[in-house]
Amino acid sequence: MKAHNLSMDSFWIPFTSNRAFKKQPRLVERAQGMYYYTPDDRQILDMVAGLWCCNAGHGHPQIVRAIQDQAAEMDYAPHFNFAHPAAFEVADVLTELTPDGIDHVFFTNSGSESVDTALKIALAYQKERGQASRTRLIGRERGYHGVGFGGISVGGIANNRLQFSNTMIPGVDHLPHTHSIPGNAFSRGLPEHGVEYADELERILELHHPSNVAAVIVEPIAGSAGVLMPPQGYLKRLREICDRHDILLIFDEVITGFGRLGANFASQAFDVTPDIITTAKGLTSGTVPMGAVFVSGQIYDEFMSKPGGAIELFHGYTYSAHPLAVAACTATQHVYADEGLFQRAATMAPVFEDGLHSLKGEPHVIDVRNYGLMGAVELAALEGQPGARGMELVQKTFDAGLMIRVTGDTIAFSPPLIMEESHMQQAVETIRTLLKTL
């Protein structure tokens, strides 16, 4: 046990009530496999993969070694006019995983940067191909696309936009979200009702005319807003409408990518191929910050067909393809493949589904949803205090040795893909007991 005497004043904690947290902190200090450990060495079962990212579990020796070795070999390499061979190698590995036709990758350092990069590529692409009037973007209510100005503009979470309402990028519309559609509560897998919600895209296009629209961006399953499922057929219909009007479709797969749904990407799980896929998180199993934007050959070739040898895209980051991130990514992808972790997610999905749905009928539970190893249990809000019940459960589960994520009063689950049945049982029984105390 290590002694800590923290003032906690200096660190402005993200997306957290700093004042509440600093009164009652929840600290973790080391991690291994499915578990975190607190400074006083309590074991905490991680049922969120950190923050939807540590898909290979914590402290995988192969990934740790790769990062250590790379740090000793070369700390940093610039990728503006110079390059590190390992970046090309990992790009080849990654584009083997993406759907056919999505075969180029632009590296970033986070999901937010991936989203803003994707939006910029979409806008620039329309200009490059002589369709400069296509400047509008379409997101979705309750969508989360990170915290850049592009991301919050196409995003649809009201609180993330409220303090910045005058600085959003212009020309953005939002599709309706697909949550709480009658008849869909307690669906196992994709819900049956609501494919027609995709037709709202046609209505928006009628208003603005398709020739003014560059791209549509959605999360295949909305994560941050509480694991909101696309109705059966919904994503296919979005694809059809985009095709009909020559509009780019962007899937934000920051959470759904890299095995979370029992396939490489949601695109494959749902058999719908977008034009651009944004990723981060599971790309390196959360070990080193990294994001990647995958684009179709059609988009890439449009930029590369520019006459002369000029820079094709005026965009990039000091740390694009940082050697530590590339090393972590390469090792992570080997671990995923060698240990068959995406297949493992598919195999464990029924266990995960049965566990979550066994909470139906417990106090306050108004919905349960799941796909792959991504799921949610939604609780009724305490009268006049939305989110209070959720935060109480975060504290109580942490005290009981379990880490979950809540958004409002919805408990989100996204365990590392190494999860076993016993972990699911422990999580579900802990929550079942605590629900009776809320």
| C-beta of 201 vs 290, nearer to ligand PXG | 290
Site for ligand PXG in 309-348 (CB under 6 A): none
Indicate whether 146 belongs to the interface with ligand PXG (CB under 6 A): yes
Site for ligand PXG in 209-228 (CB under 6 A): 219, 223-224
Indicate whether 275 belongs to the interface with ligand PXG (CB under 6 A): no
Indicate whether 112 belongs to the interface with ligand PXG (CB under 6 A): yes
Question: Which residue in 55, 98, 110, 426 binds ligand PXG (CB under 6 A)?
Answer: 110
| C-beta of 210 vs 390, nearer to ligand PXG | 390
| C-beta of 223 vs 274, nearer to ligand PXG | 223
Which residue number is nearest to ligand PXG in terms of Cβ? 111
Indicate whether 254 belongs to the interface with ligand PXG (CB under 6 A): yes
| C-beta of 302 vs 367, nearer to ligand PXG | 367
- Minimum CB–partner distance for residue 146 and ligand PXG (Å): 3
Indicate whether 255 belongs to the interface with ligand PXG (CB under 6 A): yes
Indicate whether 405 belongs to the interface with ligand PXG (CB under 6 A): yes
Site for ligand PXG in 5-64 (CB under 6 A): 51-52
| C-beta of 298 vs 395, nearer to ligand PXG | 395
- Minimum CB–partner distance for residue 365 and ligand PXG (Å): 20
Indicate whether 187 belongs to the interface with ligand PXG (CB under 6 A): no
SS (H, E, C) the chain: CCCCCCCCCCCCCCCCCHHHHHHCCCCCCEEEECEEECCCCCEEEECCHHHHCCCCCECCHHHHHHHHHHHHHCCCCCCCCCCCHHHHHHHHHHHHHCCCCEEEEEEECCHHHHHHHHHHHHHHHHHHCCCCCCCEEEEECCCCCCCCHHHHHHCCCHHHHHCCHHHCCCCEEEECCCCCCCCCCCCCCCCCCCHHHHHHHHHHHHHHCHHHEEEEEECCCECCCCCECCCCCHHHHHHHHHHHCCCEEEEECCCCCCCCCCCCCHHHHCCCCCCEEEECHHHHCCCCCCEEEEEEHHHHHHHHCCCCCCCCCCCCCCCCCCHHHHHHHHHHHHHHHHCCHHHHHHHHHHHHHHHHHCCCCCCCEEEEEEECCEEEEEECCECCECCHHHHHHHHHHHHCCEECEEECCEEEECCCCCCCHHHHHHHHHHHHHHHCCC
Question: Which residue in 115, 119, 138, 213 binds ligand PXG (CB under 6 A)?
Answer: 115
Stretch of 4-12, 73-81, 111-119, 297-305 lying at the interface with ligand PXG (CB under 6 A): 111-119
Question: Which residue in 54, 63, 66, 280 binds ligand PXG (CB under 6 A)?
Answer: 280
Binding site for ligand PXG (CB under 6 A): 51-52, 110-112, 115, 144-146, 219, 223-224, 252, 254-255, 280, 405, 407
